[in-house]
Amino acid sequence: MGAFQASMLSVQNLWYRYGSTSTAWTVSEINLELASGELVRLLGPSGCGKTTLLRLIAGFEQPSCGSITLFDHSVASERHCVPAEQRGIGMVFQDGALFPHLTVWENACFGLKHYEARQRVQWLLDILGIAKFRHRYPHELSGGQRQRLALSRSLAPAPKLLLLDEPFSNLDVEVRLHLSQELPAVLHECGVTAVMVTHDPEEALAICSRVGVMRNGRLLQLDAPHRLVDHPANSFVARFVLKANVVPVQWHQKQWHKCLGPLEPSHGLASEEQELMVPADGLKLQQNEHGRWRVQSREFLGHGWRYKVTADGVTISVIESVDRSWGLGDVCDVIWLDRQRVVLLTKTDGSK
Which of the two residues, 146 and 259, has the higher pLDDT score? 146
Mean of the pLDDT values across residues 301-316?
A: 90
For residue 341, with 0-12 CB atoms within 10 Å meaning exposed, 13-18 middle and 19 or more buried, which class applies?
middle
139 pLDDT tier (thresholds 50, 70, 90): very high
pLDDT of residue 324: 82
Determine the CATH number of domain 7-235: 3.40.50.300
Count of CB atoms within 10 A of residue 97's CB?
12
- Asked whether the beta carbons of 260 and 247 are under 8 A apart, the reply is yes
C-alpha triplet 206, 156, 152: angle, nearest 5°: 45
Residue 22 has pLDDT above 50, yes or no: yes
Same fold, 7-235 and 248-266+273-346: no
Spatial separation of the C-alpha atoms in residues 84 and 11, rounded to whole Å? 16
Domain ranges across the chain: 7-235, 248-266+273-346
pLDDT of residue 87: 94
The single-letter DSSP state of residue 234 is: B
Beta-strand pair 331-336/343-346: unpaired
Beta-strand pair 193-198/39-43: parallel
pLDDT of residue 273: 58
pLDDT of residue 235: 87
Sign, CA dihedral 98-217-18-32, equals negative
265 pLDDT tier (thresholds 50, 70, 90): very low
352 pLDDT tier (thresholds 50, 70, 90): very low
pLDDT of residue 65: 95
Q: Quick one: what percent of the chain has pLDDT higher than 90?
A: 53
Question: 248-266+273-346, which class in CATH?
Answer: mainly beta
